[in-house]
Amino acid sequence: MELRLDSRGLHQAIDDAAQFFQGQRVVACCGDRFTLTCLCLTEPIRRSVVGAATSEDEGFGLVLSTQPSLLICTEDLESGYGMNLLRRVRAELPGCHLLIVLVRETKAVVQEAMEAYADAVIFKSSLGTGNGDFIQALKTLSEGGVYFPEEIRRLGAGKVLKQDLPTLIEELTDRELEVVAGVARGLTNHAIGSCLGISVETVKTHVVNAKGKLGASDRTQMAVTALLYGLIDPAN
């Protein structure tokens, strides 16, 4: 695969990343030492990296000791498992954003990443293709959103049969489902309001109501639950 690293696009990507990483504290955990080294030495990420590890336990220890705002990891580690690391960090430090880069592009792996409540899920194969998934994921996280590209949403959708839904989940209104779909696409409340022709305050109300009905504590859990239960169209 040819990497698309034209100078203008590369400089713009660096500028966008620099804006996100300003003031961030990042822990990176990757089983591939070469990839991990390159990530941690790359500008402007290196200025924000407070720890790097190749195993689940080392990564979790760094999270506890450094209290990062962002964890970037892969599913395959030298020891342990990236999904387990996500679950442990989510439980111990719920305010930390979780971005996972998946090597295996299967429905089972994508759904497992979602069930671990990753805030952003991208494929390793998308890096360097010009799609901008990594930068877009960072931008969306900085705006308080979740980032699941359409391919991720399609693979992650519909794990649980709709007839098996708890009664409470069935109570979502059409408008609430539209708002949840917007959240799953990574849209901000303002962008959702513009798309649906409603105010930001109304969007916020629908988000709060939808989270309550889905038993979700945040936007990530809300979007993931709706996707896994097949309540929203992953293409929209």
Gyration radius of the chain's alpha carbons: 18
Rounded to whole angstroms, how far apart are CA atoms 96 and 76?
20
Handedness of CA 216, 221, 226, 228 (dihedral sign): negative
pLDDT tens-digit readout, 61-87: 999 999 999 999 999 999 999 999 999
Question: For 191, which DSSP code?
Answer: H
Q: Can you give the length of the chain in residues?
A: 236
Q: 121: alpha, beta or left, given left = phi > 0 and alpha = psi -120 to 50? A: beta
Residue with tokens 């020891």, as numbered in its chain: 79
User: How far is Cα 6 from Cα 69, in angstroms, rounded to an integer?
Assistant: 30
Which residue is it, tokens 């200025």? 47
pTM, two decimals, is: 0.84
**Residue 135 contacts by C-beta under 8 Å, 6 or more apart in sequence?**
13, 16, 17, 20
Going from N- to C-terminal start, the domains of the chain cover: 7-156, 162-228
pLDDT in tens, 3-55: 455 555 556 666 767 777 788 899 999 999 999 998 888 877 888 999 999 99
Q: What is the CATH number of domain 7-156?
A: 3.40.50.2300
Q: What fold does the segment set 162-228 form as a domain?
A: Arc Repressor Mutant, subunit A (1.10.10)
pLDDT digits (tens, 9 = 90+) for 183-201: 999 999 999 999 999 999 9
